[in-house]
Structure 1
Amino acid sequence: MKEFRINEYLSLKLEEGETVIYVANQAFMTCKYLLLNIESKNIKKYDEISSIDEAIEFYSSEHERDKSLLEPETEFWGHCSNLQAWTDHYYDTRLLDMNLAFPLLKELSDAGDPIARKVFKEEIAKRIASGFPNVITFILEEKYIESFTVEERDFIFKLIDPLQFSKGEFKKTFPLLKILAKLGDFRAKDIFKKKLMKEMKSMNHNVINYILQEQYVEIFSNEEKKEIFDKINHEEILNLEFWQALLLLHKLSNADDLIAQKMFREMGKIEEIMPFIDPFIDWNKSQYLPSAITTLSNLKKLDLSANSLKEVPPLVYKIETLKLLLLNENQITSLSPSLGNLKNLKRLKIKNNNLNSLPREITNLENLRELRVCNNSLTNLPEHLGKLASLKALDLNNNEILTLPPSIKNLKALEFLDISNNHLSVLPEFIGNLTSLKILYLHHNNLTTLPNSFSELSSLEYLFLFDNELTYLPEEMGELSSLKILHLDNNQIERLPHSLRKLQSLEKLYLRNNNLRVLPDWIGSISCLKKIYIDNNKLSTLPNTLCNIKFLEELSVKGNCLESIPDCLIEKNSLILLNLTCNKITESKEDFVNINIFDNF
């Protein structure tokens, strides 16, 4: 690993082919690309470009997409040169991409770098005074002036002339005008409103779509919105292709354009409109559905994802033909008991909402096969959830669940269960009743033990238990005869039960960051193993039996206390990766010269 130290606070390291910046000995950021290789002695040759941010705009982003231009080590030294030049010129933010310069300068300032502390506010003021819209927008969006005093902030705003930069291309200037208007700059708000009115009047539907998509009108009052929308020739919209007109009217309706709302409701028959609902209902701010949607006797799939729904439109519960209902990425806080009316529903996804409970009527969905409610705020589950006899997949990831209802034991068809990122401290014995289970995610909980009933999960192929508080594994785990992946990273496991030798289907074993002192000899009898990761434990030796694993491809034991490794490992032709870093190996074997791992790789 190569390292280049610039000063007491700033250094760079080449790690696995990537350049990582360290601040105060803590990893801060991985460098994405090298735009220009800047040398301190040749700094003046870049005078024609006032900042790297302008160079990025000039050169486009091809440099970021093409990773084949430079070898990792060459790029590493280029980054070192750039940051050395940046430091030599007192952290001049013009010399680096703003996405690196300002976060890094802020981090150095927070870490106690006296020069960074001194120039941080000066650099903010200097770059704002430059009048480059993208940089000003970035500084304000990232709230770098929040730590400024009232007087300093007033001074900063006086440096910004909204009239000057408002003459530029609207995709560059509108984001800045919006931020300034939201921050209370009345000049910017007035200029912004006039610019929007001008664009609306132009009747360029692509521009209007862009304005609505970026929600530029939302910062204005209803009265101001009316002024803006009144500039639109609404009748001219009807000259567009049908689907274009429908889409534009729908967007205008959701932005509170009263005329567009009326036109949208009256436009065409529902049979004509429905084929075009899907392209825009996913990505806009729909809060209502036309009542005639219930007349669609064959409607089986409805996607209302990524809207602004705070509740499910009541009409949805009347579409009894539905088999798939997607409500992801909304703001829904509860579901109506009427959900139980959707008897034909097979798949229900309500990911990334604000649900804190599920209605008990959900248990009436006897045909439901897939239920995904991850990334919500659920604290418990319906008592009779086990009535969902057809359920095959249940995703509860990232909620606040403390316990599981006993009725879950009746989900005999369940093959996929994700309860990760919750607050489970105990896994109940009845988990063993889920005999069809193939995939079980339990990571990021507070589990200290596992139930003996694990032995009943004979179909289980993938088990994820990392980031818990396990200190041991029950002997019964050896009965998981179908297990292919066992992930136990970041626990406190001190030993492995002898019964695990029976896991003859196991292909991947992860035991990083535990308290293991011994890797038992029987590990060599698990013939299907391809990957073993046992980093950061307390191993002092490795068993020779590792060499008996015929198809072993990856063995990582970094961060242990090894002083040597078995000779046979050096001759193991199947190995693609052998990681021995951060151990206590001192002997030098001539056989290392002949190791062919890198040839395999």
Structure 2
Amino acid sequence: MRNKEFKINEFLSLVLKWDKTLIYVNGNKFRQCKYVLLNIPVNDIDQYAFINSIDEVIDNLDHSLEEYTELIPPETKFWAHCSNLQAWAENDYNTDLLVLTLSFPLLKELTNAGDSKAKRVFKEEIGKRLMRGELSSIGYLIDGGYLRFLTCEEIVSIFSSDNCLVFDNIFKIYQKDDLDQFSLASSIFRDIGKYLFSSIERKLQHIFNTGNVEDLYIFFNYHMFDFLTDEEISMLFDSPMDLLERSLNILNNIDCENIKIEEGLLSEKIDNVLGEKIQERLLKLIYKKNMKYDVFFYLDLLKYLKNDDTDYLNYLENI
């Protein structure tokens, strides 16, 4: 078969060669197109109205016809790929219109080749995916090193936005104890937790306003504070957040056998950051005469106190 070429713009073209569709960027071979056959059931079309990207469509569609792709002539496949990539280019390289594993590598390659439009939208597309909070997409961007194309200030700005859903989506997986998604959520949180201070602060404020002890357990049991900077940890435990005091005020009203803190209240990281401040804050609470000895014991907080202080706490428990 004679080679066919379709030029989308000065940087992007497709070539049909040896029955294979190849993508070229700035005259250099980029990769071979992979064929994905989507079969959208007509009766179920409404369920796709709120899907954000082609990746979500692929995850939700019937793939039963993919085994028959070899029956489709190579030239037909070629023109289908040309149509898809032309639509992608005409829509400002919107990464929602191509699969993630093609759109971002191709957009990066076009940027490196000097495509001014690609350069303009590249960071915007990364930011859009981060803001949307789809964990599979964010995991791909992290693994592919795409966050390094944003400055630290840009990343913090995205994750600090009230409209950014990534922290909420991670927290929902922890709430549901979703084992299928837990590994991905934890991996992402380890990588980007240091950028999520504003989201953590907002969530804690909501917990203290509502007294939602189950959500409080999640923070401590999953050591979610450990990924913050030392300065940020100190800010949470200082006024006005007063994390330790407000947490203990909630836990102090619960029978010890019903408290679901698994490994003590304070992690080694918090211990190292706060040091003697922990003892100061605990003593302040003790001398307010509103803390239970059993709660301190169960949460492994007695180790921060001297014998006289624990005796006094025990005394308060029994008067």
TM-score bracket for this pair, using the shorter chain length = 0.5 to 0.7
Give yes or no for contact 1:134–1:172 (8 Å, CA) kept in 2.
no
In the alignment, what sits opposite 2:166?
A: 161
Partner of 2:14: 12
| Residue in structure 2 matching 1:175, options 172, 175, 184 | 184
Matches within 5 A, 1:444-459: none
Gap change, CA 1:22 and 1:118, over 3 Å in 2: same
Alpha-carbon distance in 2 for matches of 1:76, 1:85: 14
Structure-1 residue corresponding to 2:35 = 33
Are the structure 2 counterparts of residues 166 and 173 from structure 1 closer, same or farther at C-alpha, using a change threshold of 3 Å? farther
2:127 aligns with 125
Alignment correspondent of 1:246: none
CA contact (8 A) 2:131 2:159 kept: no
Asked if residue 113 in structure 1 is aligned to residue 115 in structure 2, the reply is yes
How far off is 1:60 after superposition?
6.1
Cα distance in 1 between the residues matched to 2:69 and 2:29: 22
For 2:149, what is the secondary structure of its paired residue? Answer: coil
What is the rounded CA distance, in whole Å, between the counterparts of 1:181 and 1:157 in structure 2? Answer: 14
CA deviation string 1:201-228 (max 9, x = no partner): xxxxxxxxxxxxxxxxxxxxx969xxxx
For residues 508-541 of structure 1, the C-alpha deviation after alignment (integer angstroms, 9 at most, x for no partner) is xxxxxxxxxxxxxxxxxxxxxxxxxxxxxxxxxx
Separation in 2, partners of 1:122, 1:112: 17
Matched positions, count:
192
Closer/same/farther in 2, CA of residues 60 and 130 from structure 1, 3 Å limit:
farther
RMSD after superposition = 3.2
Call closer, same or farther: CA 1:176–1:143 in 2, change over 3 Å. farther
Counterpart code for 1:178: S
* Shift of residue 50, structure 1, vs aligned partner: 1.8
Report what 2:73 is aligned to: 71
- For residues 38 and 68 of structure 2, the distance between their equivalents in structure 1, rounded to whole angstroms, comes to 14
SS of the counterpart of 1:126? helix
Distance change (3 Å), C-alpha of 1:19 and 1:35: same
Q: CA–CA distance in 2 between the matches of 1:132 and 1:69? A: 35
Deviations 1:285-306 (Å, cap 9, x if unpaired)? xxxxxxxxxxxxxxxxxxxxxx
Return 5+ residue gaps in structure 2 as ranges. 40-47, 201-216, 224-266, 270-319
Please give the alpha-carbon distance, in whole angstroms, between the structure 2 residues aligned to 1:174 and 1:29: 31
- Provide the secondary structure at the position in 2 that maps to 1:145: helix
2:52 aligns with 50
Residue 202 of structure 1 is matched in structure 2 by: none
Whether the 8 Å CA contact 2:22–2:30 is kept in 1: the answer is yes
Which structure has more helix as a fraction of its residues? Answer: 2
Q: Provide the TM-score with structure 2 as the length reference.
A: 0.53
> 1:446 — aligned with what?
none
The residue correspondences of 1:144-223 to structure 2 (distance < 5 A) are: 144-158=146-160, 159-168=164-173, 169-172=178-181, 174-185=183-194, 194=221
Aligned mates of 2:112, 2:180 — CA distance in 1: 34
Q: Which amino acid aligns with 1:102?
A: F
Unmatched 5+ stretches in structure 1: 38-45, 197-221, 225-601
Question: How far does residue 124 in structure 1 lie from its aligned partner after superposition?
Answer: 0.9
* Contact 1:12 1:19 survives alignment (8 Å): yes
- CA 1:195–1:73: 2 relative to 1, 3 Å: farther
**Per-residue CA distance 1:538-597 (angstroms, 9 max, x = gap):** xxxxxxxxxxxxxxxxxxxxxxxxxxxxxxxxxxxxxxxxxxxxxxxxxxxxxxxxxxxx
Give the Cα separation in 1 of the matches to 2:24 and 2:150.
Answer: 26
Shift of 1:171: 2.6
Alpha-carbon distance between aligned partners in 1 of 2:73 and 2:144, rounded to the nearest angstrom: 33
Asked whether the equivalents of residues 92 and 123 of structure 1 are also in contact (C-alpha less than 8 Å), the reply is yes
Contact 2:132–2:166 (Cα < 8 Å) also in 1 = no
Q: Cα distance 1:129–1:89, how it changes in 2: closer, same or farther (>3 A)? A: same
In structure 1, the residue matched to 2:61 is 59
- Deviation digits for residues 373-392 of structure 1 (CA, Å, limit 9, x no counterpart): xxxxxxxxxxxxxxxxxxxx
* C-alpha deviation, 1:126, in angstroms: 1.2
Structure-2 change in CA distance of 1:144 and 1:84 (3 Å): same
Residue 13 of structure 1 aligns to which amino acid in structure 2?
A: V
- Decide whether aligned partners of structure 1 residues 77 and 172 sit closer, same or farther in structure 2, where only a CA change above 3 A counts: farther
Which residue type is aligned with residue 167 of structure 2? P
- Match in the other structure for 2:99: 97
CA contact (8 A) 2:38 2:61 kept: no
- Structure 2 CA distance for partners of 1:195 and 1:93, relative to 1, 3 Å: same
Answering whether residue 142 of structure 2 is matched by residue 140 of structure 1, we say yes
Task: State the secondary structure of the residue aligned to 1:27.
Answer: strand
Instruction: Output the TM-score relative to the length of structure 1.
Output: 0.29
Residue 14 of structure 1, CA deviation? 1.0
Partners of 1:140 and 1:10 in 2: CA distance: 26
**1:299-314 pair list within 5 angstroms:** none
Residues 574-593 of structure 1 aligned to structure 2 (within 5 Å): none
| Deviation digits for residues 251-296 of structure 1 (CA, Å, limit 9, x no counterpart) | xxxxxxxxxxxxxxxxxxxxxxxxxxxxxxxxxxxxxxxxxxxxxx
Match of 1:167, SS? helix
Map 1:206-355; keep pairs closer than 5 Å.
Answer: none
Aligned equivalents of 2:71, 2:131: Cα separation in 1 = 35
**Which amino acid in the other structure matches residue 4 of structure 2?**
K
1:80 aligns with 82
Larger RCO, structures 1/2 (Cα 8 Å, 6+ apart): 2
Distance 1:60 1:165, change over 3 A: farther
What SS does the corresponding residue of 2:15 show, helix, strand or coil?
A: strand
Letter of the 2:150 counterpart: F
What is the distance in 1 between the residues matched to 2:115 and 2:81? 20
Which protein has the larger Cα radius of gyration, Structure 1 or Structure 2?
Answer: 1
* Structure 2 Cα separation of the partners of residues 63 and 48 of structure 1: 24
Letter of the 1:153 partner, please give it: I
Decide whether the 8 Å contact of 2:170 with 2:185 is kept in 1: no
Identity of aligned residues (%): 42
